């Protein structure tokens, strides 16, 4: 029995929808040599580790200056500003944020500091 054009079109739309959902999930997956922090930087700054857009958040992981300073950013990077630190230096501070808690909250592995991004970067 031949497939009717409307059914064929519906099946094609379902396949395209599944393909598009899969494609949008791919950046969250770690690539060779990438880390969860690279994934977070993908979502926070599209991998621009030296970004300063003037929105009050800096670097690849979009630190506020108060968070950067509170967790010792200048001690790890010799830079007052996160966007002037290297990728590695930003990650060192991010690990401190993730393990020591953020904004007076108990440590939750980073989900409290990057609540919209962390779940996408398992």
CATH number, domain with residue 45: 1.10.530.10
Phi-psi region of 103 (alpha: psi -120 to 50; beta: other; left: phi over 0): left
Report CA dihedral (70, 72, 78, 79) to the nearest 10 degrees.
Answer: -30
42-99 tens-digit pLDDT: 999 999 999 999 999 999 999 999 889 988 999 988 889 999 999 999 999 999 888 8
Whether 86 is in a domain gets the answer yes
Whether 35 is in a domain gets the answer yes
CA distances from 26 to 16, 34, 47, 75 (A): 15, 13, 15, 35
| Counted domains in the chain | 1
Q: Is the Cβ–Cβ distance between 110 and 94 less than 8 Å?
A: yes
* Mean pLDDT, residues 15-37: 52
pTM above 0.85, yes or no: no
Whether 14 is in a domain gets the answer no
Q: How many Å apart are CA 61 and CA 35, to the nearest integer?
A: 13
Q: How many Å apart are CA 62 and CA 78, to the nearest integer?
A: 18
pLDDT > 70: percent of the chain: 63
Whether 82 is in a domain gets the answer yes
Residue 98's pLDDT is 84
Residue 24: pLDDT band with limits 50, 70, 90: very low
């Amino acid at each position: 029995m031949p497939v009717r054009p409307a059914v064929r079109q519906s099946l094609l739309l379902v396949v395209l929808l599944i393909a598009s959902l899969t494609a949008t999930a791919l950046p969250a997956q770690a690539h060779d040599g990438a880390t969860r922090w690279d994934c977070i930087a993908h979502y926070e700054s599209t991998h621009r580790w030296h970004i300063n857009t003037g929105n009050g958040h800096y670097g690849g992981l979009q630190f506020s200056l108060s968070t950067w300073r509170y967790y010792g950013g200048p001690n790890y990077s010799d830079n007052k500003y996160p966007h002037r630190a290297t990728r590695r230096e930003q990650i060192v501070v991010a690990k401190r944020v993730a393990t020591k808690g953020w904004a007076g909250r108990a440590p939750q592995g980073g989900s409290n500091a990057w609540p919209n991004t962390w779940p996408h970067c398992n």
